[in-house]
């Protein structure tokens, strides 16, 4: 199976309540990581794998995503869109995809920044006989981190036999990472997934368990080095600072921003249209477009037009 025979899917419909005020005007997946939105980072990762046909599930402020990305031609891919009108969980979002997906698909959750190694190995595992799904996992020493996500139990062959959402007492150190590869037969399991008492939503982990119990083979793939959730303003700032440091940059200032030579910046990301006046001192700050900073010393702060959020 050629990589071109796999579709890409990104779930980008959520409201991002915890990252307000920034998600009030911008869909969370369109918030910037350095010089481009998180969603574009994910599209680029799929394109590097040879995946060109990508479906994005949109909801909250979805028209902004369509307006910004269009048909995907500028990114070297073909984009189409499916709407999720109500937010009833990840499995509910996946169910909306069924009319638009007719082949195996690589699924990204649109509010997670992934750093991976050999992501293509998920595709290689999927080609094995008897394999109908691959779950990206990582070894996680923190039980608390696993409790916030899901874990998997493996059988003697190394296949996933059980998927546990938010386990109270994790039995393994394998944490699920919000990155999946599925045969379209998963849609039958999704349709049969009941709402959970835990969050009154349709959980994808329940769908995967049903899928396994139907006899479909699912393998884990340890391809994720870091999975950084974009949930709060502090996450947005920390993610920008992390990627900035990894790129070996002291600052990243857009050419269309105005920074006075007498301003002092350290570990800052400054977007187009921002203005920083003389005497301003910024340390570990994110300055979004259209904001003017005229005075003061600021640390660990996100600036956007009319808003200033100090992060812990």
Predicted confidence at residue 191, as pLDDT, reads 96
Same domain, 243 and 224: no
pLDDT-based confidence at 251, cuts 50/70/90?
A: very high
If pLDDT is split at 50, 70 and 90, which confidence band does 4 have? Answer: low
Question: Could you give the number of structural domains in the chain?
Answer: 2
pLDDT in tens, 139-152: 999 999 899 889 99
Q: Provide the pLDDT for residue 53.
A: 97
The residues facing 297 across adjacent strands are: 281
Confidence of residue 2 (pLDDT cuts 50, 70, 90): low
DSSP symbol at 194: P
Q: Which domain holds residue 304?
A: 235-310
CATH number of the domain that residue 202 is part of: 3.90.550.10
Mean pLDDT across 223-241: 95
Q: Are residues 15 and 82 in the same domain?
A: yes
23-43 per-position pLDDT tens digit: 888 999 999 999 999 999 999
Boundary residue ending a domain (229, 244, 268): 229
* 267 and 193 co-located in one domain: no
- Count of beta carbons in the 10 Å neighbourhood of residue 87: 15
**Which residues share a beta bridge with 275?**
258, 292
Reply yes or no on whether the pLDDT at 3 is more than 70: no
- List of residues 6+ apart from 216 with CB closer than 8 A: 132, 133, 183, 185, 186
Output the pLDDT for position 23. Answer: 85
74-96 pLDDT per residue, tens: 999 999 999 998 889 999 999 99
288 and 183, same structural domain? no
pTM comes to 0.94
In this model, does residue 226 exceed pLDDT 70? Answer: yes
Average pLDDT, the chain: 94
Give residue 197's pLDDT. Answer: 72
* 240 shares a domain with 212: no
Q: From 229, 244, 274, give the residue that closes a domain.
A: 229
Of the pLDDT bands very low, low, confident and very high (cuts 50, 70, 90), residue 306 is confident
Residue 153 phi, psi dihedral angles, 5° rounding? -105, 140
Confidence at residue 200, expressed as pLDDT on a 0 to 100 scale: 81
pLDDT at 1 over 60: no
pLDDT confidence of residue 17: 85
- Identify which of 230, 208, 223, 212 has the alpha carbon closest to the alpha carbon of residue 137: 223
């Amino acid at each position: 199976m050629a990589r071109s025979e796999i579709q890409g899917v990104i779930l980008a419909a959520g409201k991002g309540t915890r990252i307000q005020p920034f998600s009030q005007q911008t869909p969370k997946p369109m918030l910037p990581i350095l010089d481009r939105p998180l969603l574009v980072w994910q599209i680029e990762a799929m394109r590097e794998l040879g995946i060109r046909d990508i479906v994005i599930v949109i909801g909250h402020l979805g028209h902004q995503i369509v307006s910004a990305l269009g048909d995907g031609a500028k990114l070297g891919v073909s984009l189409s869109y499916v709407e999720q009108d109500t937010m009833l969980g990840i499995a509910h979002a996946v169910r909306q995809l069924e009319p638009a997906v007719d082949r195996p698909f690589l699924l990204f959750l649109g509010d997670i920044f992934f750093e991976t190694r050999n992501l293509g190995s998920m595709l290689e595992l999927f080609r094995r006989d008897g394999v109908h799904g691959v779950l990206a996992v990582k070894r996680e020493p923190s039980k608390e981190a696993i409790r916030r996500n899901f874990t998997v139990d493996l059988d003697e062959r190394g296949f996933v036999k059980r998927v546990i959402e938010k386990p109270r007492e994790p039995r393994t150190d394998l944490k699920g990472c919000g990155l999946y590869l599925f045969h379209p037969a998963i849609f039958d399991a999704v349709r049969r997934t009941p709402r959970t008492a835990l969050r009154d939503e349709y959980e994808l982990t329940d769908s995967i368990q049903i899928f396994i119990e139907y006899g479909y083979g699912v393998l884990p793939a340890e391809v994720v080095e870091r999975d950084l959730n974009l949930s709060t303003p502090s996450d947005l700032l920390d993610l920008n600072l992390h990627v900035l440091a990894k790129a070996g940059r002291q600052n990243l200032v857009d050419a269309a921003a105005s920074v006075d030579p007498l301003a002092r910046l350290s570990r800052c990301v400054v977007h187009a249209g921002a203005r920083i006046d003389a005497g301003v001192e910024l340390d570990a700050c994110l300055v979004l477009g259209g904001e003017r900073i005229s005075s003061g010393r600021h640390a660990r702060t996100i600036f956007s037009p009319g808003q200033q959020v100090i992060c812990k």
